[in-house]
Amino acid sequence: MSHNQDMTHANNCVYALHYHLVLVTKRRRPVLTSPMLEAAEVAIRERCETRGGKLEEFGAEADHIHALVSLPPAATLAEFVNAVKTTTSRRLRRDFPQLRHIGDALWSPSYFIASAGGAPLDRIREYVRAQDRPD
């Protein structure tokens, strides 16, 4: 593991779990404006903090958002993503009436999430294989 990676210390573990999350609007409609994206960023930051994590970076375009988040090991990714989608959709529809006309869902039912950071898998495999196993 890289020594420059941000580590979080908890009661019983030290971890560095970072995830790249991408949410796409339903049918890739370009409906998101700058004020909407600012509101979505705040909502995602709150969801991360509620689960003991942190929103590291946020970027977006009119039809999708990217979030780099760090979460503790106890966080369930599917539940976290569902909470983010639900919270952002409800808040944006509440605060931006122009989104109410787009139907029953703001986000596509699918999403992308990948672990991020740390060493490449090949390097980790080499390190694990190279352990000096006792006889």
User: What is the tens place of the pLDDT at every residue in 48-79?
Assistant: 999 999 999 999 999 999 999 999 999 999 99
Q: Which CATH number is correct for 8-129, 3.40.50.1980, 3.40.50.300, 3.30.70.1290, 3.60.40.10?
A: 3.30.70.1290
pLDDT tens, position by position, 5-15: 678 888 889 98
Q: Where are the alpha helices (DSSP H) in the chain?
A: 34-50, 77-95, 121-129
Q: Where in the chain are the domains?
A: 8-129
* 1, pLDDT greater than 50: no
Residue 117 CB coordination number (10 Å): 17
CB of 2 closer than 8 Å to CB of 120: no
Share of the chain above pLDDT 70, in %: 95
